[in-house]
Each structure stands twice: as C-alpha cells, then as structure tokens.
Structure 1
C-alpha cells in the first residue's frame, strides 16, 4: 500500500471533493482538481471491482501481488485521489458516503438522472441539507430533455453531437476522434463549472447544482464548424485533414513521409511560395487572398502536393521554418512523448508506487504551469479501496485545518 498522506499543497489545498464518478469524464475533472491540491475521495464499490476502467486492459501495471486493477486506462484519469471502498447498496456504505458528502465542498457523480435518489445521495436531498454544497452531475444527455434516460458513452456522444460527421476521410466511413475526447472535454467543462460555482459559494454562501451532459459539451466544441453551419445553413463537409476555413492547411505527402502545412494568412502564403521556389503563386489571381484560395482549393492542393513530392520532410521543414511558415511532422505517440520538447515540459511524469515491480508508474503530466503553486501528482492511481482506513482521518484533518483559517 502506498501512503498518500504527504500531499503537497496546491492552489486548491483544503478543498474536499466526494467523487462518485467513474469511467472518464468525471474522473478527468477530479484528477485535475486533485492535481491542483484538492482532497479527492474516490468512492468505489469493492463488490464490482471498483471503477469500470480498472478492467479496461491490457495493458496493466505489473504489480507485485499479480492483481490487475491498475489498467493504463484507469491510471490515465485517477492519480491524486484516495480510493474509499463503499457499496451504496448497503446501509453501511451509504452512511459512509453520506458522511463524506456532508463534509465535502463538492460532490460529483455520473449516475443516470435520478439514479442516486433512492440512496438519498441525489442533489436535491444533499443540497437541501447543505445549501452551500456544489453538486455536479454528469450524464450522457443531461437531467432534462427527451433523451435524459439514455446511456451516454463517448462514442455515442461523438455520433449524436455531430463531430463524427466531420472526422475522417472525405470519402468513406465517419470516424471518431482517436481518444475519448467527448469525455475528456466534458470533464474539463466540469472542472471549470465546479470552480466557478465555488467562487459564487465563497462570495454568497450559496451552493448549486451543475447539470452537465456529454452531448451538450460535445456540441459546444463544434466551434467554427458549428458556427459555419449556423451562418450558412449548410452542413459542413468531411474533409479529412483539410481545414474548412483556411487553405493551404492540410497534410501533404513528401518524398519520405508526410508534412503538415498550416498557412494562416496572406503573408505566410507569400513566404511559403517564395521558399518553395514558386513566388508566382503569391501573385496568382486565384490565390491572392484566403477566400480565393478556398475557392480554388482543389487547384492549390494539387500544386502543393507536386511541390512536396520530390522533397524530403527535413528539407521542407527547414526551408519553411527559416521563413516562419507553420509546418511540422506527424509524430507517433512514442515520438511525441519521447521528444526533447516533451521532456523539457514534463509531458511524462514518474509517480512512485511501492507495489509495482518497477517501483513507479509513468503517467502523462499535467500541462498547467503555475509560477507560485506548482501542480503535482499528490498520489499515484490507487488500488481499489486502498485508502478506506485513512480516508476519514484525512477528511477530519482537512476540516480541522479549514476551521483554523
């Protein structure tokens, strides 16, 4: 067992979160809050093996006891938390969770709407008894609307919310994004909403209920393609790697692979044309402005493809970098995480765990860089129920420190 009692202080030090969420959206939010110093008590049912994603492997961490409850998927969103074993289907389990919730600043859950009502752990019950409580509910379609009772996994949210219609090659099957981005972005919205609600509570003493849906958040980050439709009335087309509003902005083949080219303005296009030995393109009436380049997208794409065909990736990138035209390679995950830039920015962190054979687990780092309150993983991803015995002690200590402020 790893002792997580030596939690470094962060900007959210003293904040207590009762985490009833699982899978990815809620855990993403609470991992962010935990990295920022909040005390996260993750409630897991030991009878079902805890969070569903513990079984979403391989790969698993190589543990000294051979138990496989630390899948890579679970570890991606569950550091900086204490795991508390509690079955809310039992009176004892409900009592423990209720005690934690009543002492917490925040409760976050992702049960189906009304799913916690029968346990007395729903937002109406707890917020009535604790008017200053911030309670965040995450579901597939939200607490209202005709689809409120439907399940909402990331893939279904991407399909319903429209992003899959924009993702993938122009001809062929719509694609989901390669990672669970609907879940992750929903978790980010949840973290923002929780912090905003806490600021309101601190100013007024009033808590509130946050109703957040995977599908709502996914539609919100359709961003320019969503507003393209709202302004034009035309459904956006699937364009593969090409940009709907900028050209040339795509992935192009070269002699030894591919190059990303992202020309964002007319000045960059002129420098691109000169660097590639085709200054005439910058004064070609078809390509003088971005709207004209979009109008003549097919012709320009053919020209750029021909320009790159006989050149190496290194040659292209060096020439375009020299004239500050945005261009870059397409890294594999191994190349991205193994790059000098990733090392300099702490993209990969090593967090000690004394029950894995290597003595630590490697995780993706938090991208936030604070000048005064550095972000830190306060604890490695926990085993199921690992901290049940010490959770209440930590809770009481946090409450005592809060009372001294």
Structure 2
C-alpha cells in the first residue's frame, strides 16, 4: 500500500521516549529513524554548543542546513547546559520518563558529567543507553575521537574501493556513520524487546569501526579463511561474472548475472547463445576463472545496443540490469516515484522541505516524518513545562545560562 493510501495510525514506537544527546550523523540518524517509527524524540544540545551540522551550509533552505535536516527530522529540540547542576537535573528528570538515551560523546564523557549508565540506571532501572563512538567502549583506541572517513580507511574499505588502476577512495556518503546509525537502531529495538521480557535496560556499545568492519562481509570472510587480501575490483564483482558496468552504443548499463540460467538468457538476448554452453563459461566457477576472456566478448556485443533498447530486452528476458543514474535521474525513475520515497514536510514557521521518506516499510504501523527538523532550542520551554517546570523556574534557568536566552532559533 502506498503511503498516501495508508490510514493515519500510531507508529510502532508510539509511547516510547528517546533522549537524543548525539550530534553529526550516526546518533541523530538513529534517533530520527526511531522518531519516524512514532517515538517521542527530544534532541538535546548545549546552549552555546549546537550540533555542528547546523552550521554546515550551504546547501540550505531559508537558513536550514540540509545536512542537518537529513538526519534530524521527527524530533523536538531543547538546549540545556548538562555541565551545570541545574542542567544535569533537567537531563535526569527527562531520563525518568524516557526509554532510550542515545549519545556519541568521547568514551567516559558522560561518566565525568555524572550522566553515565550507572547514573542513568539509578533514576530509571529500565533505561536503555546506546553509546556510539569511533572505536567502542573498550580497546586501546577507545578514548580516541573517530570520524567517518577514519573508520572507512581503517576498516580496509578505502583500500579496496575504486578502480583497479587507481588509488582507493572513500564512499561519497558517510558510510561508516550510516552503518553505525542502522546498527544502533537494530540494537535499541532488540534491547526494547529484551526489556519487555526481563524488565531490565542495558548499555548498547556501537562503534563506527566495528560497523565498517562488519560491512566488508564476504570480502572479510574470504580474507579470514584464505589469507588473500581482496584487490580493488572497481565495478566488477569478486565472485560473480558478468556482474558489472558495461558500455553501450550511447551510454552504459549495469548487468548483474547471479546464476547460470540468467547467463544463458543474457547470451541468447545478445545473440551469442553458444557462450552459455561453452565449457569455459557454462558455470559460475568457470566464468570467474575466465573473466578476462569472457568480458571483452560480451562488451563487443553490448556496444551494438542503445542503452534503452538493451535494458528493455534484458528485462523482458528476466536478466537483472539497470541504468547508471545520476541523482536527478534517480528521482525521475517511475519505480522511485511509485514508492513515494520523498516526503514534503511543512509546518508553521518552518520552510517547506523535501526529505527522504523512511525506508522502513511497516504495513500496519507505517513510518512517517512527524516533525520538521527542529530549530535550535525550539522546544525547550515546551519540554520543560511538560516536566513540571513553572514559568518562574524556566526564567531562573535562563538567567543562570542553563538554557538559551530569548529566541535562539538558528
């Protein structure tokens, strides 16, 4: 069922409160995914120390940084000085009514503030704390700051990513942050399920390097069992042939053959059916070993085809294939349009934004963007009032610099 056809319903995590103490990408992304699923997410920043990505602009829409917007929808925002006794008291009061706390400070920072797992558990025995760091809570590098590019490089990903005759390169997206954010989300959902059975919260330890290492999957497993360091394959595949980018008469396409039957249909479509029965190429294992001989043969055939005609013929033959799209072409794809992968988010006082829709496809409790990316400190008074702070108490916090003075939106 398409998003526009779904009946309004409470999200899967309705009634769950998340305290988001994190910044930049991995933690905020995790918190936003939980918010899309219906959780009440409260983002906490310092009164003089906003999330760095608020200032990463351009690109922006009416002063709202699009990098920040991409990982901070579906949440409210408050600004509190957690280093002050009054600010710490606000955080602990929030923890009492929260289910999850997400943080990505350097290891040990929350403990020094009196807000570590032991401190949180003292006021809420069921709290789930998810810590996301560069290198985890243990090990010789656990105190070192970690960033996405560092994790990509240390994991071996950069060394094996890119064309064979070029230097390795990082991914153009924050891949380690994204992986860590997804692993954090999975861990939190598992911890919620475990808590339902045991009544106890727990501390989740997520690291960028761990997440990037796991993302190597079959390549890492190959090395661990053979000792062979994977080379850079570029647009080719380690264990499937043909599975790569090919030039055509007017452009290029991706052909991804996953089994012998698909290879036979590819060869028949290209007018070289004899290759499918050739003993050099008739099995996946043979094609891997004869890669250098087979690929030029196929490339010669493919150069005779315009891309559109080729893709249509291959799809009719049930051969996995696709175009090499730009981002602009991606959002013009009929499949992308039909899946409604973009949500237009509007709210009073906020510029309209187009954001990526949640990919979490729950049929009965669909994920949806509940709130626009919040302005800095936008909901501070609202949240404090919910906690029982009177207007005079809020004014006192403001006078002491625990919360921002006046309209600090930015």
TM-score (norm 1): 0.91
Query: Which of 106, 120, 126 is the aligned partner of 1:126?
Result: 120
| Correspondence for 1:60 | 60
Specify whether residues 167 and 394 from structure 1 end up closer, same or farther in structure 2 by C-alpha distance, changes over 3 A only.
Answer: farther
Bigger drift between 334-343 and 124-133 goes to 124-133
**Within-5 A mapping of 1:4-403:** 9-48=10-49, 50-62=50-62, 68=63, 70-356=64-350, 359-393=351-385
| Correspondence for 1:400 | none
Task: Report the Cα offset of residue 203 of structure 1.
Answer: 1.2
TM-score (norm 2): 0.90
Task: Report the Cα offset of residue 231 of structure 1.
Answer: 2.1
Task: Report the Cα offset of residue 46 of structure 1.
Answer: 2.7
How far apart are the structure 2 equivalents of 1:130 and 1:314? 59
How far apart are the structure 1 equivalents of 2:86 and 2:385? 18
CA contact 1:366–1:375 (8 Å) conserved in 2: yes
CA contact 1:10–1:375 (8 Å) conserved in 2: yes
How far apart are the structure 2 equivalents of 1:94 and 1:256? 63
Task: Report the Cα offset of residue 395 of structure 1.
Answer: 6.2
Task: Report the Cα offset of residue 323 of structure 1.
Answer: 0.7
Listed one character per residue, the Cα deviations across residues 60-87 of structure 1 (whole Å, up to 9, x for unaligned) are 111xxxxx3x211101010000001112
CA contact 1:8–1:376 (8 Å) conserved in 2: no
CA contact 1:55–1:71 (8 Å) conserved in 2: yes
Task: Report the Cα offset of residue 393 of structure 1.
Answer: 4.6
How far apart are the structure 2 equivalents of 1:129 and 1:371? 36
How far apart are the structure 1 equivalents of 2:291 and 2:145? 41
How far apart are the structure 2 equivalents of 1:352 and 1:395? 27
Task: Report the Cα offset of residue 8 of structure 1.
Answer: 6.5
